């Protein structure tokens, strides 16, 4: 059976009654549910040494070195040390995911039963397969000592940072709790998302050059959903009997699904497992595919737990080959985790202290540590010393007897640190009376005390030249917060091997009772990566001793600001930086608050912070903001204004009454008082506004929304310029884009923030979005009124350029009005972000990249008169550039005009019956055409009321063969071109 499979990571996913997911599934539905096949293909593309072909050749070579006798009958039982990481949501033991030890014990028993064919249901194996049923001679045992050499029961209970984990977040899950994968089989038990019951990391070979093939030892292990862990009669879809762990453990040791994750032509590389067309569910013992009985009872299928009961001899050979040769599988059998922790006669050690770092407002500190007699003999005389910044501060001597295994907490004298700063506190325990401690590495502990500075509000810290008065807490003593140019950051990119390490920096202490509505903000930069670094901010109310209040996490707000790079990311441009604002109103009564910024290494690029501010929030208790004017009508023809004003409650409180005023030349024209509805904080609503026709032809309305906020009125203003503009243009028409000449175009800028501007360098208009900071601000560019009553076909063509930054996304839309511009209700073009972009990057380009756009306006020519409105919605990103905005007479975009300065070209030349003119004038005007023979006699003439860039065809079949001249006369130019008639 020759088959092909690509994988280094295996997932086992069941959902509902039907189970269908594989490593390289050919089933489209499965691929939609899980991105594993794409992930594995990407991994193999990046690391060809991880290919299935190489791994399978390695296994085959290793198997050939062993005799069939040793493969099948004489395998020596090996022990594997297991640590169960129970990742729960803070429940007490025995509730939810914080499983009882008895259930964990039973799961370990099930693994040993299934891998050694001691399972009670082994007798139910079909007769067809009993002769190839195998015991692996593998015993899974609880680890006997932890990585520090201390005694352990092999179970670690940790509150997780997330409520659930998907397989895409396996690095996050493994980082919650991890023991070195060379010495311990890590089994993570958590609430798994996305229908996953579990997954396992696939082993690697030790072929030459593959020493680093795994690439991530920090996720090596097995992950299981707690609902399907051990025996659970209440598990959904099928009753869990602990076989999910058996299945995933098979993957951990190199077994593949028995159907090969494909069909009858795809192999699991075990000759004694019959080919199968797909996975099996339920327990159909008579299922037959690929011309043979399927082994639905095999632990590597997807049948119900009660149906599984067998591994085969070839599966055993494969697993034993991996165990005896794959580097991190072999090292498990030789692990110190299998050994009992070392025992000495006299071993006195320090086990606990206050914490690695602690803080205080007063400078008072109660130092303490815990000692334990870890030796076999009782200890009667000993002392504990405390050093402050390397100087002996205090020694406490003891003459009482400390029995084997007994602990004692030692309390030192109260310390008082008067100066702001960081102090090292070193503890050392010593045996006295001439006895020698037989193990010295556990005799000392080091912690740090930080007396934090006091900050005043409002507070602004720019990390330009120093970090002080902030304090770094570098618990792992590796990479940490570092001062860069005008920022602090962490060199994560240079330290990608330190997954999960957390770097902390502590702010000064603030009295929040001195500020009404506090708001925290920080300016940050980080390049995009597959798994962004985790950044959290915690608040402390006890001067930095504990930080338990999470006030910000990027699990909610993505902190990527720039596109991914294959080098160290260093922010250079304005758009490389962004700001997060955090409402801290709930802290306004706290007298002592400091913050801990925690950045966790997720193997991503460097993370930077340039500013940290705490100040009064701009957000008022009661405030309404004007968002936009719907059905905009700044141009009018003998009628009044009417439209819909969209407003939003941007305050903290609900608002039940407010008013809208319309002013013209500072005189009140209209007033709307609203007191019949409650506008909830954050809610938008719409108000219909009707304004009488103004007396003047050109002017500007000021629209105010007024809210009573405590003792003051909060006023937000929106400007509506107007113009009595009924002047009609005939197509074709082009926006000239010359300063002080806008061809009767009209700009509507309701916030008076500059909006559309002329760019001399690019001979284009640009949206000025990079300078407009108001969120979702809009600006409009409105065309003249077009008379299309005599036009059969009409198209809009324009050139557009927009460089899409990573974080921001401008939006560009075109609306059409068929009522003289009174209402723009027809959206005919809309693009934003990636779809709008002609290039990507946070830098301002030296040269714009243009794209030509065409919009067919022919469906609207029956309206007789139309206007267009070009609207940009700003995001303070990059400018949108427009040029060559032209109304073109035609139904399809014109071909590119030849690279010539001539006002027109003619073709075909020679012509026979019809002659085509392609015009390209700078300004639209009336054109007078003549066809003359070579003597100057006028043979044909006609007038076009308006020419610009259209095509004109006319019949020349009545002309005799010969050479002719086409002459064009306008008020501005005279141009001629020769052509030939050939019959």
Residues with catalytic roles: 248
Q: What does the DSSP assignment read for 539-597?
A: EESSTTS---EEEEETTTS----B---SS-----SGGG-EEEEEE-GGGTT-SSBEEEE
Q: What would the two tokens of residue 455 be? A: 């900050």
What angle do the packed helices 52-64 and 313-325 form, to 10 degrees? Answer: 100
What is the phi-psi region of residue 885: left when phi exceeds 0, alpha when psi lies from -120 to 50, beta otherwise?
A: beta
**Three-state secondary structure call for residue 8:** coil
CA neighbours within 13 Å on the CB side: how many for 586? 7
Q: Where are the beta strands (DSSP E) in 355-496?
A: 357-360, 364-365, 368-373, 382-388, 391-398, 407-411, 415-416, 421-431, 444-451, 459-462, 471-473, 482-484, 487-490
Q: What would the two tokens of residue 347 be? A: 């071993």
CA distance 620 to 708: 11
Query: Which of the 8 DSSP states describes residue 420?
Result: S
CA distance 220 to 216: 7
What is the CA angle 698-701-702, rounded to 5?
Answer: 150
- The Cβ of residue 748 has, within 10 Å, a number of other Cβ atoms equal to 23
Q: What would the two tokens of residue 721 be? A: 């310029």
Beta-carbon contacts of residue 387 (< 8 Å; ≥ 6 apart): 393, 424, 425, 426, 427, 428
Dihedral (CA of 508, 509, 513, 519) sign: positive
- The Cβ of residue 306 has, within 10 Å, a number of other Cβ atoms equal to 14
Residue 519 contacts residue 614 (beta carbons within 8 Å)? yes
Query: Which of the 8 DSSP states describes residue 95?
Result: B
Q: Give the end-to-end CA distance of the chain in Å, rounded to a whole number.
A: 74
Per-residue three-class SS string for 661-700: EEEECCEEEEEEEECCCCECCCCEEEEEEEECCCCCCEEE
Among 308, 349, 312, residue whose Cα is nearest residue 437: 349
Residue 753's Cβ-count burial label (10 Å; 0-12, 13-18, 19+) is middle
Beta-carbon contacts of residue 235 (< 8 Å; ≥ 6 apart): 227, 228
Residue 447 contacts residue 350 (beta carbons within 8 Å)? no
What is the phi-psi region of residue 390: left when phi exceeds 0, alpha when psi lies from -120 to 50, beta otherwise?
A: left
Beta-carbon contacts of residue 450 (< 8 Å; ≥ 6 apart): 357, 358, 359, 421, 422, 423, 471, 473, 506, 544
Query: Which of the 8 DSSP states describes residue 307?
Result: G
CA distance 741 to 157: 73
Residue 457: phi and psi, rounded to 5, are -105, 140
What is the separation of C-alpha 310 from the centre of its chain, rounded to a whole number of angstroms?
42
Residue 857 contacts residue 891 (beta carbons within 8 Å)? no
Residue 622 contacts residue 707 (beta carbons within 8 Å)? yes
Beta-carbon contacts of residue 901 (< 8 Å; ≥ 6 apart): none
């Amino acid at each position: 059976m020759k088959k092909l499979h690509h994988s280094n990571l295996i997932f086992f996913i069941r959902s509902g009654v039907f189970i269908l997911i594989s490593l390289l599934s050919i089933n489209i539905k499965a691929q939609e549910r899980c991105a594993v096949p794409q992930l594995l293909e990407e991994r193999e593309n990046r690391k060809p040494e991880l290919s299935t072909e190489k791994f399978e050749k390695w296994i085959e070579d290793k198997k050939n070195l062993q005799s069939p006798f040793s493969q099948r009958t004489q395998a020596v039982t090996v022990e594997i040390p297991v640590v169960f990481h129970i990742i729960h949501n803070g429940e007490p033991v025995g509730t939810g995911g914080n499983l009882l030890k008895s259930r964990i014990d039973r799961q370990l028993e099930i693994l040993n039963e299934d891998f050694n064919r001691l399972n009670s249901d082994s007798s139910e194996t079909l007769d067809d397969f009993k002769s190839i049923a195998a015991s692996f001679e593998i015993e899974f045992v609880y680890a006997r000592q932890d990585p520090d050499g201390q005694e352990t029961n092999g179970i670690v209970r940790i509150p997780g940072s997330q409520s659930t984990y998907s397989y895409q977040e396996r690095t996050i899950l493994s980082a919650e709790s991890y023991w070195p994968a060379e010495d311990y089989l890590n089994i993570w038990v958590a609430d798994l998302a996305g229908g996953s019951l579990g997954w396992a990391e696939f082993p690697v070979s030790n072929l030459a050059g593959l020493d680093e093939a795994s690439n991530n030892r920090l996720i090596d292990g097995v992950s299981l959903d707690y609902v399907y862990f051990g025996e659970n009669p209440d598990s959904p879809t099928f009753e869990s009997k602990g076989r999910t762990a058996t299945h995933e453990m098979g993957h951990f040791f190199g077994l593949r699904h028995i159907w090969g994750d494909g069909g009858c032509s795809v192999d699991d590389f075990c000759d004694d497992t019959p080919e199968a067309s797909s996975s099996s569910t339920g327990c159909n013992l008579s299922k037959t595919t690929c011309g043979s009985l399927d082994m639905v009872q095999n632990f590597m299928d997807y049948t119900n737990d009660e149906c599984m009961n067998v591994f085969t001899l070839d599966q055993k050979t494969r697993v034993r080959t991996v165990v005896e040769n794959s580097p991190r599988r072999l090292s498990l059998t030789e692990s110190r985790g299998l050994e009992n922790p070392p025992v000495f006669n006299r071993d006195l050690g320090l086990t606990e202290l206050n914490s690695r770092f602690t803080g205080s407002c007063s400078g008072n500190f109660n130092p303490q540590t815990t000692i334990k007699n870890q030796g076999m003999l009782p200890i009667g005389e000993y002392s504990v010393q405390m050093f402050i910044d390397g100087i002996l501060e205090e020694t406490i001597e003891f003459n009482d007897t400390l029995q084997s295994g007994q602990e004692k907490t030692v309390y030192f004298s109260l310390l008082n640190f008067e100066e702001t700063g960081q102090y090292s506190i070193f503890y050392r325990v010593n045996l006295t009376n001439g006895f020698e401690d037989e193990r010295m590495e556990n005799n000392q502990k080091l912690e740090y005390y930080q007396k934090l500075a006091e900050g005043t509000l409002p507070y602004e810290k720019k990390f330009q030249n120093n970090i002080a008065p902030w304090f770094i807490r570098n618990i792992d003593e590796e990479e940490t917060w570092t001062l860069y140019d005008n920022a602090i950051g962490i060199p994560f990119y240079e330290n990608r091997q330190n997954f999960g390490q957390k770097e902390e920096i502590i702010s000064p202490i603030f009295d929040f009772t001195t500020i009404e509505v506090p708001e925290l903000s920080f300016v940050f930069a980080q390049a995009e990566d597959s798994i962004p670094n985790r950044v959290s901010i915690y608040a402390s109310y006890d001067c930095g001793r504990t930080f338990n209040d999470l006030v910000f996490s990027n699990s909610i707000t993505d902190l990527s600001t720039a596109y991914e790079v294959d080098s160290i990311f260093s922010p250079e441009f304005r758009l490389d930086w962004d700001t997060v604002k955090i409402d801290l109103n709930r802290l306004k009564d706290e007298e002592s608050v400091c913050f801990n910024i925690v950045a966790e290494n997720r193997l991503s690029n460097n993370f930077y912070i340039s500013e940290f501010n705490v100040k009064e929030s701009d957000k008022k208790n009661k405030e309404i903001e004007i968002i936009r004017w719907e059905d905009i009508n700044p141009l009018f023809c003998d009628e009044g204004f009417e439209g819909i004003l969209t407003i939003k409650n941007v305050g903290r409180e609900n608002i039940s009454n407010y008013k809208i005023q319309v002013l013209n030349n500072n005189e009140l024209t209209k007033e709307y008082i609203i007191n019949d509805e409650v506008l909830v904080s954050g809610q938008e609503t719409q108000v219909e506004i009707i304004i009488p026709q103004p007396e003047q032809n050109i002017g500007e309305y000021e629209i105010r929304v007024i809210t009573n906020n405590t003792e003051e009125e909060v006023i937000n203003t929106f400007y509506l310029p107007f113009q009595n503009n009924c002047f009609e243009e005939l197509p074709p028409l082009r926006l000239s884009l010359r300063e002080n000449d806008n061809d009767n175009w009209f700009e509507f800028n309701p916030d008076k923030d500059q909006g559309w501007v002329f760019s001399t360098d690019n001979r284009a208009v640009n949206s000025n979005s990079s300078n407009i900071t108001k969120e979702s601000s809009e600006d409009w560019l409105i065309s003249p009124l077009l008379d299309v009553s005599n036009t059969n076909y009409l198209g809009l063509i324009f050139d557009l350029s927009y460089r899409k930054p990573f974080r921001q996304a401008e939006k560009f839309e075109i609306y059409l009005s068929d009522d003289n511009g009174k209402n723009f209700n027809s959206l005919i073009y809309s693009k934003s972000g990636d779809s709008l972009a002609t290039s990507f990057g946070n830098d301002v380009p030296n040269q714009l990249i243009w794209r030509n756009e065409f919009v067919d306006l022919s469906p609207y020519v029956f309206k007789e008169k139309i206007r267009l409105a070009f609207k940009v919605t700003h995001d303070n990103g990059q400018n949108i550039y427009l040029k060559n905005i032209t109304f073109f007479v035609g139904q399809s975009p014109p071909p590119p005009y030849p690279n010539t300065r001539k006002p027109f070209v003619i073709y075909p030349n020679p012509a026979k019956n019809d002659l085509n003119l392609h015009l390209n004038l700078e300004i639209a005007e009336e054109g007078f055409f003549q066809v003359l023979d070579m003597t100057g006699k006028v043979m044909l003439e006609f007038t076009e009321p308006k020419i610009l860039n259209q095509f004109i065809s006319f019949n020349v079949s009545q002309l005799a063969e010969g050479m002719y001249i086409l002459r064009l006369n306008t008020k501005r130019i005279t141009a001629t071109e020769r052509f030939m008639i050939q019959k």
